[in-house]
Amino acid sequence: MGLNAEDDILQDFLVEAAEIVEQLGEQLIDLEQHAGDAELLNAIFRGFHTIKGGAGFLGIDPLVETCHCAEDVFNSLRQGQRALTPDLMDPILQALDKVNAMMDALRAGESVEPADPDLLQRLTEANETGPADCDAVGSAPADDAIAGSGEVGTASSGDEITEEEFDALLDALHGNGRAVAGAASGASGAGDEMSDDEFETLLDDLHGKGRHRGNPAEVASATASAAGEASPDTGDKAGDPSRIAAKSAQGETTVRVDTQRLDNIMNLVGELVLVRNRLSTLRSTLANDELATAIANLDVVTADLQLAVMKTRMQPVKKVFGRFPRVVRDLARNLNKEVDLVLQGEDTDLDKNLVEALADPLVHLVRNAIDHGIEAPEQRERLGKPRRGKVVLSAAQQGDHILLSIDDDGRGMDAEILRSKAVEKQVMDEDAAARLDPKGCYNLIFHPGFSTKEEISDVSGRGVGMDVVKTRIAQIDGTVEIDSEPGRGSRITIKLPLTLAILPTLMVILGQQPFALPLASVVEIFNLDPTRTNTVDGQLTVRLRDRALPLFYLRDWLVPGTAGDHAGGHQGHVVVVNVGGIQVGLVVDFLVGQEEVVIKPLGALLQGLEGMAGATITGDGKIALILDVPGLMRKYARRH
């Protein structure tokens, strides 16, 4: 069926259901490790049940049908009527994937396709107590207490309930656990609280087949309330007054805001930062103490506002990490390997744009670690290792950067094998390969088409994708490095800025023109001594701590008409930058200093110009181009 994606009730349902589905994904993988956990079984059952109820009210029958079949499986599991096995978990996870796909279709305003009948049949056959009637969507038998409770009992015998019956159910559900005279006496029983089973039956009666004729806004509110009460992350009694009060208080302290509004606010703060930079520059030219004090105060307030707005855009990296237990579980089964995943630093906050941009590169790196790194269980035993391999995914904040690392205890990488493969695949000649240090050899895996695996798999195959991973990380001003030890494992470290909205840069001058180098790529700076330069294989180098550092004059590339002006002993300054794990020196005429800038896109004529990340306005009002160091090297540097 098709639903209008702008419908408020539908949007509320999708938001609530998305949170539940995210929790279900984590809970299902956790359940596989703790199959007898009664709390987990109940929480997962409630999760599917709550989504089914909301979908039933909206008349989304395919979604109701899928959730109902999954719910029946967990009903038999929690009653001990069958045991959970990996073969049973497979169709359950596939059902959750289908639920996700249906919700994506609803968000896009598209029609919802029913689940594969074979999948529903596999779920139906999972119940040893007899085939579940998955066609009887949304309905469940009312228990005896409710069936004999006056008005509520009549609701369970039909497909619909009247508004009076609906109000009575709401009173029974939210009336602090106290029975409402006549209408819900059976549901509340003799005590002040309703049991879990009574609560579930009330939900079934409340949702029926999902085609209530009452006030839609009123029913939607009830649906949202029921979803909150049946949240799968709690085992509290549904009618606990203190719990309801706590949830109500919590609701008053939070508000949902469209992310576009946050982006607009961040853009305005960026403009304010530019004005602050301009005023700070003018302050030094104006001999007015009062004005200088006012500008200093503005500087402090702007910095605080910038930090506050940045925090509103932050999301815990758990948003990215949450998908990996499922990725590792499915991949390990596919490759017949045994792998444990350890997540660390999930509460580390990251800009929401970075969270979205990181998802695919991290998935590929983790898959690559399992496919190429972790050995088969039998091979690990022969090597004296535990049968189960381990992958550690961690995040930590370090100053104004985030460090992400993927560690595995697998076979590791041999620098000599990588070196010989580079020559074999004609990535470089023997002399150049011989000069590579181990870290340089490890970085060869990011070369397009480079793979050391003899047998190609459909998981991380021919090396395709590792170069894309590196490019994607570079696009968000990140760097990636590899450390490895043969037989012990590998570590891939990704370094990222906290935010992409405001960029710390090193302002430099070439000729008379200012340029900005992203500070994240700058390693160190020193004065150029022409007597320490040499030409090796046609490449100008400078000696730095007993090693040859490739040297490039930026003015030759970026300032037309001044190429060669550095001849005859021009000194300048060398800015050492990290480009894909390799350090090179860029010669500039003058250093201005560090400055926070806001990246402005280039105009239509310059859009996509390689080597340029954008433009900004400097503190003295000039326009400065922001350099994309990897792009510059690709466009101008000669390979030697």
Question: DSSP letter string over 35-67?
Answer: TT-HHHHHHHHHHHHHHHHHHHHHT-HHHHHHH
- Same-domain status, 249 and 263: no
- Same-domain status, 182 and 214: yes
- Same-domain status, 345 and 481: yes
- Same-domain status, 513 and 591: yes
H helix runs in 534-604, sequence order: 554-558
- Same-domain status, 306 and 229: no
> Which sign does the torsion angle of CA 289, 291, 294, 295 carry?
negative
- Same-domain status, 84 and 117: yes
Tell me the per-residue pLDDT of 465-501, one tens digit each, with 9 for 90 and over.
Answer: 688 888 888 878 788 888 999 988 999 999 888 776 6
Instruction: Give first-to-last CA distance, the chain, whole Å.
Output: 61
The whole-chain average pLDDT of the chain stands at 76
Cut 0.75: pTM above it: no
pLDDT at 381: 93
- Same-domain status, 340 and 469: yes
pLDDT at 141: 38
Q: Which of 175-179, 334-338, 471-475 has the highest mean pLDDT?
A: 334-338
Per-residue pLDDT band for 236 (boundaries 50, 70, 90) equals very low
pLDDT at 19: 87
Q: Give the span between the Cα atoms of 498 and 359, in whole angstroms.
A: 16
- Same-domain status, 43 and 72: yes
Per-residue pLDDT, averaged over 119-137, amounts to 61
- Same-domain status, 229 and 293: no
Query: Tokens 């109500």 sit at which residue?
Result: 248
Report CA dihedral (208, 211, 213, 219) to the nearest 10 degrees: 70
- Same-domain status, 460 and 565: no
Tell me the per-residue pLDDT of 178-218, one tens digit each, with 9 for 90 and over.
Answer: 333 333 334 334 444 555 565 555 555 555 444 433 444 44
Q: Give the span between the Cα atoms of 48 and 45, in whole angstroms.
A: 6
User: Could you tell me the CATH number of the domain that includes residue 355?
Assistant: 3.30.565.10
Domain that holds residue 39: 1-137
Domain termination site, one of 256, 271, 302: 256
If you ran DSSP here, which 8-state letter would residue 166 be given? H
Residues near 287 by Cβ (< 8 Å), separated by ≥ 6?
A: none
Q: Give the span between the Cα atoms of 403 and 330, in whole angstroms.
A: 26
Per-residue pLDDT band for 589 (boundaries 50, 70, 90) equals very high
If you ran DSSP here, which 8-state letter would residue 445 be given? G
User: Could you tell me the CATH number of the domain that includes residue 268?
Assistant: 1.10.287.560
- Same-domain status, 482 and 540: no
pLDDT at 174: 52
How buried is residue 513: exposed, middle or buried, by Cβ count under 10 Å (0-12/13-18/19+)?
A: middle
Number of C-beta neighbours around residue 363 at 10 A: 16
**What are the backbone dihedrals phi and psi of residue 126, each rounded to the nearest 5 degrees, phi first?**
-75, -15
Number of domains in the chain: 5
Q: Is the pLDDT assigned to residue 266 strictly greater than 90?
A: no
Per-residue pLDDT band for 578 (boundaries 50, 70, 90) equals confident
- How far CA 472 is from CA of 178, 467, 480, 558, in Å, comes to 57, 9, 11, 25
